Amino acid sequence: MTSLTQMVQLRLAGMTGSPRQFATARLAAMLGRTDLPSRTELMALRPATRVLILGFAAWIGLVGVVTISALISLELSTVTAPAWFGRTGPAAKASNARAGGFENIVQRPLFSRNRQGFVAAEPVAAPPPPMATLDSGLTLKGVFMSDGIAKAFLISAQSPLGVWVEVNGQIDGWRVAAVTPEHVVLEGQGEKLTVPLHAGGR
């Protein structure tokens, strides 16, 4: 019920009184009172409490002043001066400074020792990889031929457990050129190697 009374008083003060009376009534309502404390009430408080209240009021005033000045400076910073004034506005200056600044950053990088821009070295052609020596110690352990599919089971130094390789497949640098029931023909680096079928152990 008290809050309803305070709201009615605020409305009446806003309609009938001066802005100062309205602000006073509003501040009193925030404090939960119908009116602000009188000077005698403030003097009856302990000195530490009075200092605390005054400091709090000063702090609120300071925050209000800083907020208003920040809003005003923000509004003024977006305003550009007319052309007849002889100067360009802050926005134009900022864009000109940005355009020149980025180019300068690229030409004189901050984290380079000599502050010189990066110069890409001419690409050097990589030498061709050395020709790998082909393993001629391959052993043919099995052949599979069915419906046009031909595979050879080969064992090498790199694949001691053996692998199945189809025609045109690769093993240790060799390409399987042909598979017959008795042998396999391998090609690699201009060489040809015929490996006969070994049914026994290696």
What's the pLDDT tens digit per position in 69-82? 998 988 887 776 66
Inside any domain, residue 95? no
Give me the pLDDT at residue 173, please: 82
Instruction: Examine residue 59 and state whether it is found in any structural domain, yes or no.
Output: yes
CATH number for 156? 2.30.30
Domain span at residue 170 reads 139-196
Instruction: Out of 23-27, 73-77, 144-148, 165-169, pick the least confident.
Output: 23-27
pLDDT tens sequence across 27-69: 777 767 777 777 788 788 888 888 888 888 889 889 989 999 9
DSSP one-letter string for 116-176: PPP-PPPPPPPPPPPPPPPP---EEEEEEEETTEEEEEEE-SS-TT-EEEETT-EETTEEE
Domain-ending residue, one of 57, 74, 91: 74
User: Is the residue at 65 inside a domain?
Assistant: yes
Domain count across the chain: 2
Q: Is 201 contained in some domain?
A: no
pLDDT at position 5 over 70: no
Residue 191 domain-assigned? yes
Domain end among 45, 74, 103: 74
pTM of the model: 0.35
Is residue 175 a part of any domain in this protein? Answer: yes
